[in-house]
Amino acid sequence: EAQVTQNPRYLITVTGKKLTVTCSQNMNHEYMSWYRQDPGLGLRQIYYSMNVEVTDKGDVPEGYKVSRKEKRNFPLILESPSPNQTSLYFCASSLRLPKRSSYNEQFFGPGTRLTVL
């Protein structure tokens, strides 16, 4: 089954304790992205990756790191989590678009609910 998986699904941690949220897709997609969802704000992009070893900042990258060593995996790293990073996080993937095309369907993982105390 084609899917995007995330782990863990739920996590409660304390300020300053490093954590990693994993994301994996089995669709051979080049493009992967992380979003956070907050009430009244919709989803905002944190980081994205166009392909292996190619990553770039989204709209809200502060406090996060990512890596893309393999095509299928795109982990989100919080080196020193703070309470304002309490949120619902989604990983997404899609095929890379050819030029001049503006359509893409992104496939989303089930989400990771993170609470930082």
Chain residues in the site for another protein (CB under 8 A): 4, 31, 33, 35, 37, 40-45, 48, 50, 56, 58, 90, 92, 94, 96-97, 99-106, 108-111
Q: What's the closest the beta carbon of residue 6 comes to another protein, in angstroms?
A: 8
**Which residues are 110's β-sheet partners?**
none
Nearer to another protein, 57 or 82 (CB): 57
Q: What's the closest the beta carbon of residue 42 comes to another protein, in angstroms?
A: 4
Nearer to another protein, 37 or 115 (CB): 37
> Which strand (E) or helix (H) includes residue 95?
none
DSSP 31-42: EEEEEEEETTTE
DSSP 11-67: EEE-TT--EEEEEEESS--SEEEEEEEETTTEEEEEEEEEETTEEEE-S--TT-EE-
Nearer to another protein, 59 or 80 (CB): 59
Nearer to another protein, 76 or 92 (CB): 92
| Cβ 81 vs Cβ 19: under 8 Å | yes
Q: What's the closest the beta carbon of residue 108 comes to another protein, in angstroms?
A: 4
Q: What's the closest the beta carbon of residue 19 comes to another protein, in angstroms?
A: 20
Integer Cα distance of 70 and 84 in angstroms: 30
